[in-house]
Structure 1
Amino acid sequence: MRTEPGGPMSVRELSDVPSFPAIYAAALTPRPGVRRSATLPSEAYRVRRVRIDPERAAAFDHLMGGPATDLVHPGVLHVLAFPVTLALMARPTFPAPLLGLVHLRNSLLQHRPVRVGELVDVEASVRNLRPHRKGRTFEAVTTIRVDGEIIATDVSTYLARGGGAAEAERAGAESAAAGASRTAEAPRREFVPPVPTGRWTLGADTGRRYAEVSGDANPIHLSALSARAFGFPRAIAHGMHTASRAFTEARVDLRRPLRWDVEFDAPVTLPGTVLVGFEPEGASDGGAGAVTRCVGWRPGRDQKGPRRCFAVSVTTLG
C-alpha cells in the first residue's frame, strides 16, 4: 500500500478489503508501549475496484426477507465499506479501543441506483471527535465512488465510553464563559409505542446468520458465551441487521435516490421478540418526498415498560 498527500487528509491505498478476522485480531492484540492518541487520525483508507458480489447481495436480500434483485440493498453498501472503516479504527493509536464502541446512529445517502456486479472505490475516514456525557463521540464516514463520482455516503456515529465527562464539563464551562447559551439536558421521555404492524421473532442464531452474509463476526453478536466475555449477558443482534430488515419491509423503490437514517437506543438481545410499527408519510405512490418511518421496541416484561430499540426513517429523494 502507499500513502498520498492530500492536504490535511492523506489517503492510504489498500490492496484489498481487510478481513474481519484480521481486524478483530489486531484489535485484541496487546501493544505494550503504544499509547492511544488524543486526536483522530488525519488519514483515510481507500480500496479501489471492489466488486459488489451478486451472490452475497442475494443472500443479504433473502436474510432480510426480500427477493433478490439486480439493485443493491443499501445495507450491502454499508457492509461492503464497513471493514475498511474498522481497519482504520483498529489501529493501536486510535483514540478509543475498537471493541466497546457503541453504534449510536447511521445515515446513508444514496445518489443513484446501484447494481450488483458494479466495481466501486471505497474510502473511509473519521471526523468530529467531541465530548459526550458518557464519553466521546465521533463519526466514521465512508464514500463509495464509481469512476470518481460519489454514488453513496455512509456516516456512522459512535460512542466511546469513559474519559469524556471531565472534557464535556470543561467544554461546557468554556462555552458559558464565552457567553454562549446552554440548554439543560432534557429528561428522557417515556416511550409510548405506536400500534404495532409487525412482530419479529429473532432466534439465538440471528447474529451468526447475519455474520455469514456481512462478514461481521464481532463476538458480542455470535453467542451468549462469546458475548459474556465482553460484558454482555446474552448475544445482541447487529444493529444494522434490524435496520436493514426494517428497510426491506418498508418496500422502498431502489430505482430512486434515497436517504436512510437510523437511531439505535437499546440492544436487541437474542433470542428475543421485537415489535415494529411502520408509518408512511408524503407521496402515496412512493415517489419523491415519500417517507417511511419505523420504530422497533422490546415488549414490556417483569414490570418494566416497553423499550425502544431503534428508529428508522427512509426518504425517497427527487
Structure 2
Amino acid sequence: MTTDQPTVATEEIRESPSLVRSLVRGALTAKGRGGDLSTRRLVRRGVQVDRGHLADYQRLVGAAGGDVLPHAYPHLLGFPLAAKIMSDKDFPLPMPGLVHVENATTVHRTLTADQAYDVTVWAESLRPHTKGRLVDLVTLVEVDGEAVWQETSTYLQRGAGQADAPRGAAAPGIPAGDPCARWRLADDLGRRYAAVSGDVNPIHLHPLTARAMGFPRAIAHGMWTGARTIAALGPQSTGPSRSHVWFRKPVLLPTTVDLVVDRSGSAQVAALRATKDPETIHLVATLEA
C-alpha cells in the first residue's frame, strides 16, 4: 500500500520581495489564520552579493572584512523570501507577534562574494509547544546544485500551550567566569541593522514604536546579537561549521552586554549577558567547526 505524499510546488521569484510590503501585508491579514502549512517553496536563482552591502554588514557585526561571507550573512539573502511566506494568507500563524526563539546554521564550505547563489526557502514542522506553537523557516543556499549553507529559524506563536509538547534540543549550560568581551550598544543599533538587513520591524527602530508593541524601549535584532556572538568566536565560523543559537531575553537599547565563552569542549559555548545584571541571559550559542 502506498501513501500519497503532498506535492511540493516551487515558485521562482526573480526580484527580492519587499520586506516592508511583507510586514504590512502580514499585519493586515493576521486575523483568521489557521490550517496546515503550505508545502510551497520560494526560490531565487543567481543571487549576487553586493560587496558594499557585505562590508557594511561585516563592520556592524564585528566580522573580518574581505570577500568571505560571515557565518550568518546568507540569512539576509533568504529572509525576504521567508518574510513573504509568513505574510501570505496560506501561512497558518499570524506574522505579528511571532518570536524568533532559535536559529541553527550549517556552513558546508567557505562562501565568497564572487559566486552566484540559488536561495530556496520553505516552512515546515508546525508543532505544539508548552507556550504556544512553533514553526521552522528553512533557508537552503546552493551553488550549481550543491548545498553550501543551510539555516533553520524557529518561531514561536505565543498562546495556549500543550504541557506534554515534545521539547527540542536543549541549550547548554551558561559559561561561568569573567567576560572576554564587553559591548556598549547604542540606542540606534536597531536602526543601523535595519538599514543593512531590511528588517524594519517597529520593535527595533524607536522607543515609541517599540512601546506600541509592548516593549519599554527598542530592542536589538536577534539576528544581530547572534551574528555578533558567532563572529566573536573566531574565523573558523566562516569555514565548515555548525552553530545553534537560543534567544532568551530581548536586548533593550541602549545597554551594555558581556560575552562569556567556554572553549574547553569540542564545541565552543557562548552566552551574552547583561553587564549590570549577569543573571539576565540574552542568548546562548554553540559553534562547532
TM exceeds 0.5?
A: yes
The answer to whether structure 1 residue 128 and structure 2 residue 111 are counterparts is no
Output the aligned Cα RMSD.
2.6
- Secondary structure of the residue aligned to 1:117 is coil
Matched with 1:179 is none
- 8 Å contact from structure 2 (residues 217, 252) kept in 1: yes
Shift of 1:95: 1.5
Letter in 2 for 1:306: E
Shift of 1:280: 1.9
- Secondary structure of the residue aligned to 2:235 is coil
Matched with 1:295 is 271
- 8 Å contact from structure 1 (residues 194, 277) kept in 2: yes
- 8 Å contact from structure 1 (residues 44, 124) kept in 2: yes
Shift of 1:65: 2.2
CA deviations on 1:125-182 (whole Å, 9 max, x unpaired) are 11111111211011111100111111111001110111x42xx25xx4xx9xxxxxx9
The answer to whether structure 1 residue 137 and structure 2 residue 134 are counterparts is yes
**Between Structure 1 and Structure 2, whose CA radius of gyration is higher?**
1
User: Residues 17 and 268 (structure 1 numbering): CA distance in 2 closer, same or farther, change over 3 Å?
Assistant: same
Shift of 1:296: 0.6
Matched with 1:247 is 230
Distance 1:200 1:212 in 2: 20
Given candidates 253, 259, 264, the residue that maps to 1:281 is 264
The answer to whether structure 1 residue 229 and structure 2 residue 228 are counterparts is no
Distance 1:223 1:198 in 2: 26
- 8 Å contact from structure 1 (residues 35, 93) kept in 2: no
Q: Output aligned runs, 1:1-318, within 5 Å.
A: 8-30=7-29, 35-162=32-159, 164-165=160-161, 168=162, 172=164, 193-253=176-236, 256-281=239-264, 291-300=267-276, 306-316=279-289
Matched with 1:178 is none
So what's the TM-score if we normalise by structure 1? 0.82
Structure 1 window deviating more from structure 2 (151-160 vs 7-16): it is 7-16
- 8 Å contact from structure 2 (residues 175, 261) kept in 1: no
CA deviations on 1:90-118 (whole Å, 9 max, x unpaired) are 11232211121111110110111100132
Shift of 1:7: 5.3
Q: Give the unaligned 5+ runs of structure 1.
A: 1-5, 176-181, 283-289
- Secondary structure of the residue aligned to 1:312 is strand
How many residues align? The count is: 283
Distance 2:220 2:76 in 1: 15
Letter in 1 for 2:25: A
Distance 2:27 2:100 in 1: 19
Distance 2:63 2:238 in 1: 16
Shift of 1:313: 1.2
Deviation above 6 Å: which 4+ runs of structure 1? 189-192
CA deviations on 1:8-32 (whole Å, 9 max, x unpaired) are 321111121112111112112258x
So what's the TM-score if we normalise by structure 2? 0.90
Query: Identity across aligned pairs (percent)?
Result: 34
- 8 Å contact from structure 1 (residues 113, 254) kept in 2: no
